[in-house]
Amino acid sequence: MTKVFMLYHIRNEDSDDEDIKLIGIYTSYELAKSAQMRVQDKPGFIDYPDGFSIIENPLDCDGWVDGFVDL
């Protein structure tokens, strides 16, 4: 199974307002980590160093299958 590594940055100003950016999709964890290192001192990222996430996902696989749920 082929996998990709998605690099996200989430800036959470408060509990109701999240700013989510997909920085890129990479073929290895190491490439995603390198991208993080390239952008972490840029405006918008430097003030939120804990906002980075690298998520491993398989290709050709549904990720959200339950739909939206009303709370």
Number of domains the chain contains? 1
Query: Six-digit token pair at 30?
Result: 């190491």
Residue type for 57, please?
A: N
Residue 65 placed within a domain: no
Residue 64 placed within a domain: no
- pLDDT of residue 71 exceeding 90, the answer is no
Q: What is the pLDDT of residues 19-53, one digit of tens each?
A: 899 999 999 999 999 999 999 999 989 999 999 99
Residue 66 placed within a domain: no
> Model pTM greater than 0.85?
no
Give the per-residue pLDDT at 17: 73
Query: Six-digit token pair at 42?
Result: 């840029």
Residue 71 placed within a domain: no
- pLDDT of residue 68 exceeding 80, the answer is yes
Residue 63 placed within a domain: no
Give the per-residue pLDDT at 38: 98
Residue 20 placed within a domain: yes
Query: Six-digit token pair at 10?
Result: 């989430």
Which residue range is the domain that position 42 belongs to?
3-58
